[in-house]
Every structure is written in structure tokens, then in C-alpha cells.
Chains A and B, each alone.
Chain A
């Protein structure tokens, strides 16, 4: 029993011009069911990357009768054996790759919900060109690029939990709203999204790493917020120089002190504005540019609590200019930066008069 895959079907329908006409019908219902004639059945299962050894061990703990650890396997490195065969592992060059078998039934369940709830924006085959996509800014993510911006993970790919948290929370200020679906539904959708990875990349790549969001730990400045903000401002304009992309929130005079530059140093003319940057995200085959946010003006997408900001700054934003800072500067300074950014948001965002006066002050300060 080998049916044609839905991708194949979509491609051939698309080639005949059928899909486009089907897709453009029913515009008034943003969450319409699959256009007639588009298969919801996924016929082939998929081996996808599972997170890590720790994660594997956790599975084993919850079902000890099912998993055995064979310490002598693979030259003494040791590996897990799953008697039901849903998890597997392989060794490449001394490192373990963990795999999870996702059945066609599960992918079909995921595809059904994906088509119903997500495809209007993310596209029937997850390419980011759904029916409503062309009017949306920012554009919906393509799930064929294996790149995610706001999952707060340092590893190449987010774990199921990381994706689930993100989808439940949504992305503030964008058409990606919070989704109130059951965990079972979401996990099936997530497996389906992962199965859209092209061959040998993303969740099918033996070398890619799957991870959880950056651990938050304890805020070292919890009781001394004012000092954190001052330190954050110092790092932001000093060692980290966030103002090379984001706006600077100081005068030239102050920046010279923070950057330890000599008297008379001149900075970019538009210091109090963000600088447009390249990104790896493509729309219709062309890489897009993204604007680093001005924290006193733009809505941040991945949360604005101190902990959210700590995680975002630590992990960076994949596929964009915003780099990972974890490891590059001490955690203490990451927290200080989070406090400083939070303070900019709390003090100025959505308060046009206060913000206007602040920015005007910077811009008018003699040499700015």
C-alpha cells in the first residue's frame, strides 16, 4: 500500500495551477480546512533527531522495563536500547545522535491540525507562503529552512518543549498569536513541522543538536536593580557595543567614556537609531533584512520579563545578526543587560512624551 505523498500531490496540483486556485478560494475564513483534493494523509513515517543523552535517560527512567542501557556497546561508550524500537541512536565520530521514530499515523494527525490551524499563514507544505502570508509582516516562518528565531536555545534546533512553549505564548506584536491547543495536538503538529526538514538537514541531520531554552538560574542583581541597570548600560555601550546594531542610548560624550575612546572620537551619525542588518531568512528566494529593535519604541517578540530578556540575549536570534552572548560575557553581565533593556522598555516604551524628550535630549546634546 504505497499512496502518493501529499507533497508529491501538492507539487503536481501546483504544477497544474490547481493548488493556487484552490488556495485562493474561501478567503473569508482564515482557518479553513484543507482545500478539496489536498491529501491530509501522510503515508511515510520519519526518523527525527531527539534531544540528548539526558533526555534519552529520562525516557528510560519513566519506562524502565522498556529501555536497557548497554554499557559495553560501541566500544564502551554505552548506549540505550528501546525494545519497542521508537527510539534509536547512532554514533558518528565519537558522538551520539539520538533519533525518534514518528509513525505515519502521528504525522497524519499533526498534518490535519497543521492544515486546519497553521497553514493559512505557514503554507500547506510549511514553506511560509500560506494564503494570507503575502499581507503579513513579519512574514510567517518557513519550516523548510530549519531556522527559528525566538526559541531561546543555543543548540541548532529547539526541543519539542521549546517549540511548544513558543507556540502557546505566541510572538507579541506579530500575527503569530498564542495558541490554546492541547499538548497532544501541539506535539503532533510539532512532529509534523519537524518532518518537513529537507533530507540531511535540520531534524534529519546527524550532526545537528537539539536543545532546551537557556537555563535561567538565579538573578544575581535581584535586590540591587539600580546597580544592575547602571552596569547594564556600561556593558551595552562598552564591551558588548550593542549600539553597533541597536540604537545607542547615550550621548557621544558619554559613549567616549564607556568605550574608552579618545577625546573627539566621532560615532555613526545615526547613533540613536537602529542599523538595518542582513538575515538568512528568505522570502521568495531572497534573503530579507531585519531591523534590530529600538527598545524604547518597538514591541519585543520573545517576552520582556528580566528572565525572558536574559534568555534572548544569552541565546541570540538564529539566522539574524543578533549573536549569541552566552559564554562571550559573564552571566552576571547578561543579567545586567537584561535589567538595562527592561528599564528602557519600562521607562520609555508606550510613553511617547517621555521618550520624545529623552531621545531629543540625546540627539541635541552638542556633538550628537
Chain B
């Protein structure tokens, strides 16, 4: 857990209070991590784990334990209508990319199988996890650049977890993120560079990652406050194992087709349920 301890938060807020004691009546409260932070402060958008919860410690959420997760939600995403024809991508600007895609390359933004299953849909629990706090995994989520494409194209991670972007290609890339609620960055990564670690401190679905040197290269990152997320496989299927019994809102987003309508489910201990999301062009 990376959230400050209760003690830290309390000491901090007393510090802040002392600090603005002389500020006069007109001062708005300063932004800060403590309870009662003013407008513009960070606590209104508490990042991972539902924030410090310092204002009501008694009613606070419990630490999640995997043993509570006995229910399984699975399902699939599909695209209505005809299967779109693949779009050829011209990689001529960088012969190294052409070389690695000798069979020709197609655009990976829309991948639909013969029965309409839609790949690379980010599925996540958007409501219903407030009763728990979750430990942010120490290990980073890996986004690799191979053959002048991102692998995988869509990844999910928890708020505060690191995204490790590595370059396995014999050419240079630049890793340009386009967040709206997190820090933006654009750093180049020549062949053989060490990986870049990017942190997203607020939940945001989906953040685009692009390479400006190779305009076809795009990835998406879904950042959520809980560990209940998945990316649909080639046949459009997904599984969220280890849910606790309860009522949840489940959302699904695709980089081209946007959001599908949300679904609310109620699931009991040990149960298995299935839902489906339909996207349209």
C-alpha cells in the first residue's frame, strides 16, 4: 500500500493548519492530502485504494484478501455488423519496420473474429468495490515495442502501479502518452535503451500511448482503482475471476468504438455469471 498512514496524514494536516495560521481570513484552505482539503486539493480525487479515509476511520473499507473472491464473472464483447476488412499499414518511413513485417502489416485498432468477437476491449468493474482497499502490485505492467507495434496493444493496471515500456526493436521509438487526468510525457527510446517507467496516479480509462516516429503505433492503457479488469481475447472473451459476492457495475471500452452500455450485476459467493457487451460501428 502506498497511501500515507493515518498518522502521517494527521501530522501533515496539523502542519498545514499551523502553516496558514497567519494567512488572514481571506485565505482559502490550502490544497493538501489531509482531511478537509480545499478546492483544487488532491483528496477530492483520491487515487488508489479510496484515499486515506482519515475522516471516518471507523466506517473505513477493509483490506481486500483474495480468499473473499469466490465468484467469477466471464463474458464476451462483440461488434455488430460485418467484419471490417483489414487496413494495410505503410511502414515505408522506417525500413527497419518494413523488414520486421515482411509479410505486410495491418492496422491493429479493430480486431474482429469471424463470429463478431471483438478483441482488445478493456472490461473493468467501475462501481461496487468501495468496501475494500486493494494492494497495488509491486511489479510493473509491461508494454513492449516489437516489430514496430505495441505488445500487447491494450493493457490494464491499477492506479499507482508502474507501466514499464521497453523497446525490443532495432530502431528508435518515442513513447508519447496522452492522459487527461495524469501527467503527460513524451520520451524517446533508441534501440537498446533501458525500459522507461511511467506512473499514472489517477484512474483513467483509456490513456493513449503513441509513437510519433511511426504514426501507426498506438496502445491504450486502462488505469483503475481495483484489480478487477481484463482485456478481451481474440474471440472477444474475458474473465474476471475472484470477485467477492456483491453488486457491481461493469464497464467496457474499446479504443475505436468507445463505451458499451454499462451493466449492473449481482453475484453471490461461489457463483459464476456471464455477461456480454455489444459495440456498434
Which residues of B lie under 8 Å from residue A55 when comparing CB positions? none
For the complex, is A83 an interface residue (Cβ under 8 Å from B)? yes
Which of B42, B94, B186, B188 is A207 in contact with, Cβ under 8 Å?
Answer: B42
Stretch at the interface among B16-24, B223-231, B271-279: B16-24
Per a CB cutoff under 8 Å, which of A82, A87, A103, A201 touches B26? A103
B214 to chain A, nearest CB (A): 8
Cβ contacts under 8 Å, B41 to chain A? 90, 206
Tell me if B151 counts as interface (CB < 8 A to partner A): no
Write 9 A-B pairs (CB below 8 A) sorted by A numbering: A45-B27, A88-B16, A88-B19, A91-B8, A93-B2, A93-B201, A208-B183, A318-B184, A320-B186
The residue on B at minimum CB distance from A269 is: B92
Contact between A93 and B160 (Cβ–Cβ < 8 Å)? yes
* B152 contacts chain A at the CB level, 8 A cutoff: no
Asked whether, in the complex, the Cβ of A92 is within 8 Å of the Cβ of B33, the reply is yes
Contact A261 B20 (CB under 8 A): no
CB distance from A29 to the nearest CB of B (A): 35
Instruction: Evaluate contact between A204 and B94: CB separation under 8 angstroms.
Output: no
Cβ-based interface call for B191 (8 A) = yes
Structural contact, B8 and A75, CB atoms closer than 8 A:
yes
Q: Is the CB of B34 within 8 A of A90?
A: yes
Residues of B within 8 A of A204 (CB): 31, 40
B94 contact set on A, CB distance < 8 A: 241, 244
User: B26, A324: Cβ atoms under 8 Å?
Assistant: no
- Interface size bucket, B side? 35 or more
**Could you mark each residue 317-336 of chain A with 1 if its beta carbon is under 8 Å from any beta carbon of chain B, else 0?**
01111111101110000000
Say which residue of B5, B15, B96, B176 sits within 8 Å of A81 (CB atoms).
B15
Report yes or no: A239 in contact with B190, Cβ–Cβ below 8 A: yes
User: How many A-B contacts are there with CB distance less than 8 Å?
Assistant: 186
Q: Which residue of A lies closest to B5 (CB)?
A: A75
Chain B contacts of A147 at CB under 8 A? 184
Complexed CA–CA distance, A322 and B212 (Å): 8
Given the interface pairs A75-B5, A261-B96, A268-B92, the reply to whether A90 lies near B32 with Cβ below 8 Å is yes
Interface residues of B (CB under 8 A from A): 2-5, 7-9, 11-12, 15-16, 18-24, 26-28, 30-34, 37-42, 44-45, 47, 92-96, 160, 171-172, 174-176, 178, 181-191, 193, 201-202, 212-215
Q: Is A215 an interface residue (CB 8 A)?
A: no
Cβ–Cβ contact B7 & A268, under 8 A? no
Instruction: State whether B191 touches A239 (Cβ < 8 A).
Output: yes
Whether A101 and B31, one on each chain, are in contact in the complex, defined by CB atoms closer than 8 angstroms, is no
Neighbouring B residues of A86 by C-beta, 8 Å:
23
CA distance A88 to B15 in the complex (A): 9
A321 to B176, CA, bound (A): 8
Report A95 CB to chain B, min CB distance, Å: 9
